[in-house]
């Protein structure tokens, strides 16, 4: 990874590699315009083009005068660019070869290959965006539902950053007030200052708690929810997978033990990304292959965020169901019990199930009954706090949550110190630590190692 202070002119293919209508090569740095002048031939002189305009022309190898491609070239002068540096973007015909030839030509002329996330890292270092916004760009690129995309856009717009900056500013102002009291002890305003600090800190603690509580839902929107579908053989697990995904992904037969491996399918339930994991029927078996499937199913259960335990309304609660329930009793808090085949239910058998398990969701995959209730139950499980993503700021990043929790602990410690009658200088230490933790989130106070770690996860070209 390049040094954080590097100012080399860099270039990379900013579009996906492969056959497409166009490919985009992005160049950023002080030599971007000079390099473009050497390889681009169009009407007029490139140096005389106005900023933020697009021109038609050809990319030509200056050593051989060979035409590499017809292109559209964008010229964008600093500081009103993505990186705040001079930026050139070459729109060439799509495909691996053409883009590679143009990029090789740039590298031959002294431009350095951009590293993962380096364009966005420069935007951060040059002060155009803060670290929260930079991470939101990566989230936006990786969004897999419309709702996760909207959350990323909200953070990119700076709404979370504004909250964090306001909180940090309040903490800094408290520290300044404390400093005045320490410098001028003869005025004896310590008690008044402590009372003011406690009042402000209590308000900030409430805000931090709200942000922290939003993380569980935010994490699901960002990364998706792993949902394992379990149950005895032939309970309808694979049929449920097919219905929720809208595909005939799993083979469905009346023969128990048809599913031998874990099948994965991604679905979008009202904007929430779900990874469904259809497992082998959990039962004792002498079949070597099926036994491996059962072992994998148990592994999936351990890693799942939510478990759909499928029961059969026709056969009722059998010993196999009881055995499975024993295996998963440690995961009871993350299980939704789904009773399938209600279209051919044995009422006595169904009553047995309700006695064993009072809270069930009745469905019939065959008749498409109760699926909407099941989806609603999944969403309620995911969003226990009933967070409104359209009107509420949420956090989606584990790094942010960790630092918010640490800041919260610091402020709780400051309150405890105040209640215990500690002096202002001791109270201020906890407040200062809390302000630093908030600063680490936005990048006001951050180490080079952390910056490198964040941006190396980005794609090349962004």
Across 176-185, 216-225, 342-351, 389-398, least confident range:
176-185
Q: What are phi and psi of 274, to 5 degrees?
A: -125, 130
pLDDT of res. 390: 79
Residues 314 and 386: beta-carbon distance below 8 Å: no
For the chain, what is the radius of gyration of the CA atoms? 29
Average pLDDT over residues 144-171: 92
SS3 87: strand
Chain centroid to CA 150: 12
Q: List residues bridging with 265 in a β-sheet.
A: 276
pLDDT of res. 103: 95
Of the pLDDT bands very low, low, confident and very high (cuts 50, 70, 90), residue 303 is confident
DSSP class per residue in 296-349: HHHHHHHH-SEEEEEEETTT-S-HHHHHHHHHTGGGGGGEEEEEE-GGG--HHH
Please tell me the distance from the alpha carbon of residue 172 to that of residue 297, in angstroms, as a whole number: 52
pLDDT of res. 188: 53
- Six-digit token string for 300: 């999936």
Residues 308 and 338: beta-carbon distance below 8 Å: yes
Q: Smallest Cα–Cα separation from 322: which of 305, 338, 303, 309?
A: 309
CATH code: domain 10-129 is 3.30.1360.120
pLDDT of res. 237: 86
- Six-digit token string for 400: 């942010």
How confident is the prediction for the chain on average, in pLDDT?
86
Of the pLDDT bands very low, low, confident and very high (cuts 50, 70, 90), residue 281 is low
Please tell me the distance from the alpha carbon of residue 345 to that of residue 316, in angstroms, as a whole number: 9
Eight-state DSSP code of residue 2 = -
Q: Place domain 221-382 in its CATH homologous superfamily.
A: P-loop containing nucleotide triphosphate hydrolases (3.40.50.300)
**Residue predicted with more confidence, 353 or 288:** 353
pLDDT of res. 232: 86
Q: What are phi and psi of 287, to 5 degrees?
A: -70, 120
Burial of 85 per CB tally in 10 Å (0-12, 13-18, 19+): buried
Residues 83-129 pLDDT 10s: 999 999 999 998 889 999 999 999 999 999 999 899 999 999 999 99
Of the pLDDT bands very low, low, confident and very high (cuts 50, 70, 90), residue 183 is low
SS3 351: helix
| Terminal Cα-to-Cα distance of the chain (whole angstroms) | 15
SS3 197: helix
Residue ranges per structural domain of the chain: 10-129, 141-214+394-443, 221-382
Average pLDDT over residues 4-9: 72
Residue 71 is inside which H or E element, if any? strand 67-76
pLDDT of res. 282: 53
Average pLDDT over residues 214-221: 92
Average pLDDT over residues 200-225: 93
Counts for the chain of helices (H) and strands (E), in that order: 16, 13
Residues 316 and 267: beta-carbon distance below 8 Å: no
**Residue predicted with more confidence, 107 or 193:** 107
Please tell me the distance from the alpha carbon of residue 182 to that of residue 326, in angstroms, as a whole number: 63
- Six-digit token string for 17: 């590699």
Residues of the chain with pLDDT > 70, as a percent, come to 88
Q: List residues bridging with 91 in a β-sheet.
A: 24, 72
Residue 140 is inside which H or E element, if any? helix 131-141
- Six-digit token string for 120: 């966005």
Whole-prediction pTM: 0.79
Top mean pLDDT of 6-10, 17-21, 331-335 is at 331-335
CATH architecture of residue range(s) 141-214+394-443:
Up-down Bundle (1.20)
- Say whether pLDDT at 192 is over 60: no
pLDDT of res. 291: 55
- Say whether pLDDT at 461 is over 80: no
Residue 271 makes CB contacts below 8 A (sequence gap 6+) with 145, 146, 147, 148, 221, 389
**Residue predicted with more confidence, 279 or 225:** 225
Q: What are phi and psi of 150, to 5 degrees?
A: -65, -40
- Say whether pLDDT at 39 is over 70: yes
pLDDT of res. 6: 65
């Amino acid at each position: 990874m390049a040094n954080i202070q590097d100012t080399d002119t860099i270039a990379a293919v900013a579009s996906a590699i492969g056959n497409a209508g166009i490919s985009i090569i992005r160049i950023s740095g002080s030599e971007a315009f000079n390099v473009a002048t050497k390889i681009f031939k169009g009407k007029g002189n490139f140096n005389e083009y106005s900023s933020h305009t697009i021109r038609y022309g050809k990319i030509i190898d200056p050593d051989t005068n060979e035409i590499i491609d017809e292109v559209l070239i964008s010229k964008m002068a600093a500081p009103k660019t993505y990186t705040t540096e001079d930026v050139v973007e070459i729109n060439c015909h799509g495909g691996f070869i053409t883009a590679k030839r143009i990029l090789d030509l740039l590298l031959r002329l002294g431009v350095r290959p951009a590293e993962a996330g380096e364009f966005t890292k420069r935007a951060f270092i040059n002060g155009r965006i803060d670290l929260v916004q930079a991470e939101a760009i990566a989230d936006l690129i990786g969004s897999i539902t419309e709702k996760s995309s909207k959350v990323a856009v909200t953070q990119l717009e700076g709404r979370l950053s504004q909250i964090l900056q306001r909180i940090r500013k309040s903490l800094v102002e408290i520290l300044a007030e404390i400093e005045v009291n320490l410098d001028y002890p003869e005025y004896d305003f310590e008690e008044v200052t402590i009372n003011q600090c406690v009042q402000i800190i209590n308000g900030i603690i409430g805000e931090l708690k709200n942000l922290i509580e939003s993380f569980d839902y935010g994490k699901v929107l960002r990364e998706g929810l792993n949902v394992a579908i379990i149950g005895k053989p032939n309970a309808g697990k694979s049929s449920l997978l097919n219905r929720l995904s809208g595909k005939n992904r799993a083979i469905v037969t009346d023969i128990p033990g048809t599913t031998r491996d874990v099948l994965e399918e991604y679905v979008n339930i009202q904007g929430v990304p779900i990874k469904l994991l259809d497992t082998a029927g959990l039962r004792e078996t002498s079949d070597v292959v099926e036994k491996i499937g059962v072992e994998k199913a148990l592994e999936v259960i351990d890693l799942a965020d939510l478990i759909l335990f499928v029961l059969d309304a026709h056969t009722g609660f059998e010993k196999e169901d009881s055995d499975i329930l024993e295996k998963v009793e440690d995961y009871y808090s993350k299980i939704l019990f789904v009773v399938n085949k209600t279209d051919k239910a044995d009422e006595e058998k169904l009553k047995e199930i309700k006695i064993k398990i009072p809270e069930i969701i009745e469905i019939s995959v065959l008749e498409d009954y109760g699926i909407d209730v099941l989806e609603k139950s999944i969403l309620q499980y995911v969003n226990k706090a009933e967070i409104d993503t359209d009107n509420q700021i949420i956090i989606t990043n584990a790094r942010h949550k960790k630092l918010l929790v640490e800041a919260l602990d610091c402020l709780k410690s400051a309150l405890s110190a105040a209640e215990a009658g500690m002096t202002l200088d001791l109270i201020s230490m906890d407040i200062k630590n809390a302000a630093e933790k908030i600063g680490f989130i936005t990048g006001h106070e951050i180490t080079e190692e952390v910056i490198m770690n964040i941006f190396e996860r980005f794609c090349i070209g962004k």
